[in-house]
């Protein structure tokens, strides 16, 4: 277990397509997930992907937000962090609703900034856990957004690359000037 340095935008590992993991149940994957968890927790994130700690493998972890989480509740983010962790090795995403909605996102690899990102409203995602269990879930709204964000890391894509306009890429510290303020959880 270790807290690792989180790679930041500009590091080539974040722009690379991550490698498929041949055996999701390998001990090295369990160790990798522990390092990812420790690093995410130390940075107060709600999700992280392996490339963010410099390992180009298709592994992502996140806390599933409650579908009915109150958006502006200051305790919402803490609640999300307290939710059970999902670990996905070799994940895949299928779009179930082509509708895209814009929402605020932040990223541990793009510290200090936040931006408006279009994401599919509803998806199905699949993957394998390090215990060898298959996961298949339907997700919408913020849950779907978190999954799409982390999955993008495995494609070598960061949220600023998905933004329709960089006019909404701002420093989190200046959010008070926005009329449409992002919620706490959206900044995680």
Tokens of 46: 């709600």
Q: Write out 142-167 in H/E/C secondary structure.
A: HHHHHHHHHHHHHHCCCHHHHCCCHH
Q: How many CB atoms lie within 10 A of CB 165?
A: 9
CB 20 to Ni ion: min, Å: 20
Nearer to Ni ion among residue 40 and residue 107 (C-beta): 107
Judged by CB under 5 A, the chain residues 94 through 113 that form the site for Ni ion are 107
CB-count burial class (<10 Å; 0-12, 13-18, 19+) for 160: middle
- Which residues are marked as active site? 150
3-state secondary structure of 22: coil
Cβ proximity to Ni ion, 107 vs 139, nearer residue: 107
Kindly state the smallest distance separating residue 7's Cβ from Ni ion, in Å: 11
Among positions 113-132, residues that touch Ni ion (CB under 5 A) are none
For residues 57 to 96, the per-residue mask of contacts with Ni ion, x marking binding by CB under 5 A and - elsewhere, is: ----------------------------------------
Residue 152's Cα: distance from chain center in Å? 8
How many angstroms separate the CA atoms of 145 and 133, rounded?
23
* CB of residue 86 to Ni ion, shortest distance in Å: 15
The site for Ni ion, by CB under 5 A, has a size of 1
The site for Ni ion (CB under 5 A) is made up of 107
């Amino acid at each position: 277990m270790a807290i690792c340095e989180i790679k930041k935008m500009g590091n080539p590992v974040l722009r690379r397509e991550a490698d498929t993991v041949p055996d999701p149940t390998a001990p090295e994957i369990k160790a990798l997930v522990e390092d990812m968890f420790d690093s995410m927790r130390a940075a107060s994130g709600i999700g992280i992907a392996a490339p963010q700690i410099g390992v180009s493998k298709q592994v992502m972890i996140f806390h599933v937000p409650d579908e009915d989480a109150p958006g502006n509740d200051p305790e919402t983010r803490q609640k999300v962090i307290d939710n059970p962790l999902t670990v996905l090795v070799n994940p895949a995403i299928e779009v179930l609703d082509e509708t895209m909605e814009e929402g605020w996102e932040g990223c541990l690899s793009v510290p200090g900034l936040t931006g408006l990102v279009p994401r599919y409203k509803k998806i199905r995602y699949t993957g394998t856990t390090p215990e060898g269990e298959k996961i298949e879930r339907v997700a919408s709204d913020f849950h779907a957004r978190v999954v799409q964000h982390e999955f993008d890391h495995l494609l070598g894509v960061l949220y600023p690359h998905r933004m329709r306009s960089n006019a909404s890429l701002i420093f989190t510290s200046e959010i008070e000037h926005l009329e449409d303020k992002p919620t706490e959880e959206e900044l995680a």
